[in-house]
Chains A and B, each alone.
Chain A
Amino acid sequence: MEIFDNLALGFSVAFTFQNILYCFLGVLLGTLIGVLPGLGPVPTIAMLLPITFGLPPVAALIMLSGIYYGAQYGGSTTAILINLPGESSSVVTAIDGYQMARQGRAGTALATAALGSFFAGSVATFLLAVFAPPLADLALKFGPPEYFALMVLGLIASVALASGSVIKALAMVVLGILLGLSGQDVYTGTPRFTFDVIELADGIEFVALAMGVFGIGEIVRNLEDEHTRTVMVQKVKGLLLSKDDFKRIIGPVLRGTFLGSFLGILPGGGAILSSFASYSIEKKISRHPERFGKGAIEGVAGPESANNAGAQTSFIPMLTLGIPSNPVMALMIGALIIQGIVPGPNVVNEQPNLFWGIVASMWIGNFLLVVLNLPLIGIWVRLLTVPYHILFPLIVGFCCIGVYSVNNNEFDVFTMALFGLIGYVLVKLQCEPAPLLLGFIIGPMLEEYLRRAMLISRGDPLVFVSRPISATMLGLAALALLVVLLPSVRKKREDAFKE
């Protein structure tokens, strides 16, 4: 069985002292920062990205994935304990999780979230190991037109599945691509949109853009409505699940895992969509739907499993095709590129150590998460009560040194300040910054594949529709766009996201 050989290779990479240490550090730091109110996975990863640059690629990616699960788990903890979801995918967890906490069952809710996530993470990691290599092999047969079509599909799908205005999100993607094209043109060396600034010759620094928009811009937005938040944290006790609880969560966890694994592969908010879907399914099939919203344990178990499974399987398109399905994966691709690795189908075959090491470390990371979080919950609870006005200046400080340390260049610090302003304006205009980041990362690749495709087709744009795979993908993209723009669907979609 090839897969077991591969997994054995992966575990041999991941089970070195150094890599376990980085995995542990990642999970710890991720939870530490993710549990702070108002910080979701994207700013957490953007902020911690620079400290991984000095590490070897495998260790860096292992640590970053650790940070990701940690941050996500931290987000669920805040959702359950103080009804403040750190990110959109734990919005659903807050509904019943917070009610459970108010009934004195905070410990049970946290344990459910941890165990559900662990189970879902393990299954999804296995699925990743099974499906990623064949997908990568398939992708290796792709020519430039197929790649171009695939990226267009990915971008469109992520727009269609996101919340908010589709047109604005599309505009953000296009703007992101334009920003991503700045710097020297790869074919001719002509500087584009550099305004004769030498620091822009290599393009806009990705970390500066991400930290500016998601770090600094978000801080200003939080300061805008700085109400006095009285944080009432319930006492956490009884981290063990009763036999009855176990019986009740098995079904939701299994369904959530299945749903999340599938939806996570799709571009767009895999984790968000899957947690919403899981919640509504659990509510629908429950014999006591009236308990939902009043502290139903199923309402925590299902969405938490689904969102963790989705988080795991969203690595599949990133690792096999080099296409990010959400902003977190865009950051991962940025990290890979900075490490000198070109993301795409070649990673699986040419860097088996990296690929299988990451896969194995995911399982270890999920395991560490359970081991780490349940005993340390007391510390996390204390962190929750740090008021924002003390917290945010420290975040500004971290962002500054983080972005400076990427190239040891103050220009990046100024870029971050500028993108902080831009990020705030975009949020004010209700333009989601996430599609901008996706466009920024994909932009250069998109242009390259377009130019190559046109070169081999001798300038005939029909190449995209005459090749079956690319025609199918572009057709799907057009269909997805058409569907979300239809008035009736649009109305339903708005309602769905409002709920």
Chain B
Amino acid sequence: MVRFVKNPRNVATGLMLIAVAAFFVWQGSDLPMGRAIRMGPGYFPMILAGLLALLGLIVLLTGLTRPSDDEGSIALRHWPWRALALVTLAVVLFGFGIRPLGLGPSMWLAVFVSSLASSRFNILTGLLSACIMVAFSWAVFIKGLGLPLPMLGPWLGGY
């Protein structure tokens, strides 16, 4: 490959910043701009989005011209996909489960699923820490802090 890109990390950062700025411009384009004396809701965001795009452009250009002096790859195949997916899944499961299932099962799921993310996962410690965390969160958050959360949700015969 021609070495157009001297520092892939900065090129990616620059492109991302420009894309984000474009997104804000697009989303903010319907907002009334107003005038400087009486700024509308769209005025300041538009200035900021412009600034963000400019900064993104600078980062992009430095990425094209200056070689990187740091190690570490940003290639997608080096990403910790398993950890990313499982930790996110654990949090999302908790969010979906908290109302219908209650605190107990959703906490259990969140802790167990996220423990799968480690390469040093061990079924016994995973199960054990999930159960301990359920007991602990019951004691601290429901008994101790009195959060209005049922241990078991309506789907499981709770209230």
Q: Which residues of A contact B (CB under 8 A)?
A: 51, 54, 165, 167-168, 170-171, 174-175, 177-178, 181, 185, 187-188, 190, 192-193, 195, 216, 219-220, 223-224, 226, 228, 387-390, 392-394, 396-397, 399-401, 404-405, 408, 410-411, 413-414, 416-417, 420-421, 424-425, 428-431, 447, 450-451, 454-455, 458-461
Contact = CB atoms under 8 A, between A and B. Distances in A.
A370 B103 CA distance: 37
A5 B119 CA distance: 59
A193 B24 contact: yes
A188 B59 contact: no
A496 to B, nearest CB: 16
A401 B121 CA distance: 23
Nearest to A410: B95
Contacts of A400: 90-91, 94-95, 106-107, 110
A219 B83 CA distance: 9
A454 B36 contact: yes
B92 A393 contact: no
Contacts of A390: 115, 125, 129
Given A397-B111, A429-B74, A178 B80 contact: no
Most-contacted residue by chain B among A400, A410, A424 (CB, 10 A): A400
B64 interface: no
18 contacts: A54-B146, A167-B62, A168-B55, A185-B41, A188-B40, A192-B31, A192-B42, A220-B87, A389-B115, A389-B119, A390-B115, A392-B117, A396-B87, A401-B141, A420-B91, A421-B84, A429-B12, A430-B70
Interface string B103-140: 10011001110110111110001100110010001000
A107 to B, nearest CB: 32
B148 interface: yes
Contacts of B92: 413-414, 417
Given A393-B112, A450-B44, 16 more contacts: A167-B62, A171-B55, A178-B52, A219-B114, A223-B80, A223-B87, A223-B119, A387-B120, A393-B90, A393-B130, A397-B107, A401-B103, A401-B147, A413-B91, A429-B74, A454-B37
Contact of B118 (A165, A226, A424): A226
The binding surface of chain B is classed by DSSP as helix
A178 B21 CA distance: 9
Interface in B26-71: 27-28, 31-32, 35-42, 44-45, 48-49, 51-52, 55-56, 58-59, 62, 70
Which 8 pairs, one residue from A and one from B, show the smallest C-beta to C-beta distance?
A459-B37, A413-B95, A185-B41, A223-B83, A389-B118, A459-B36, A393-B115, A417-B91
Contacts of A165: 59
B96 to A, nearest CB: 7
A168 B17 CA distance: 9
B88 A421 contact: yes
A51 B137 CA distance: 12
B98 interface: yes
B98 A416 contact: no
Contacts of B12: 429
Contacts of B83: 219-220, 223-224
B133 A450 contact: no
The interface size bin for chain B is 35 or more
B6 interface: no
Contact of A174 (B31, B51, B79): B51
A178 B49 contact: yes
B1 interface: no
A124 B41 CA distance: 42
Contact of B141 (A216, A405, A420): A405
The binding surface of chain A is classed by DSSP as helix
A223 B39 contact: no
A192 B55 contact: no
A394 B40 contact: no
Most-contacted residue by chain B among A165, A174, A408, A420 (CB, 10 A): A174
A44 to B, nearest CB: 16
Nearest to A415: B95
A354 B118 CA distance: 44
B129 A168 contact: no
A400 B137 CA distance: 11
A171 B35 contact: no
Contact of A394 (B80, B119, B133, B147): B133
Contacts of B110: 393, 396-397, 400
B9 A429 contact: yes
Nearest to B97: A410
Given A167-B59, A392-B114, A401 B107 contact: yes
B16 interface: yes
B148 A408 contact: yes
A52 B7 CA distance: 44
B95 A417 contact: yes
Contacts of B88: 216, 417, 420-421
A458 B37 CA distance: 5
A487 B46 CA distance: 31
B48 A178 contact: yes
A421 B81 CA distance: 11
Given A185-B41, A193-B27, A450-B44, A397 B141 contact: no
A447 B51 CA distance: 15
Contacts of A411: 95
A220 B83 CA distance: 6
Contacts of B9: 429-430
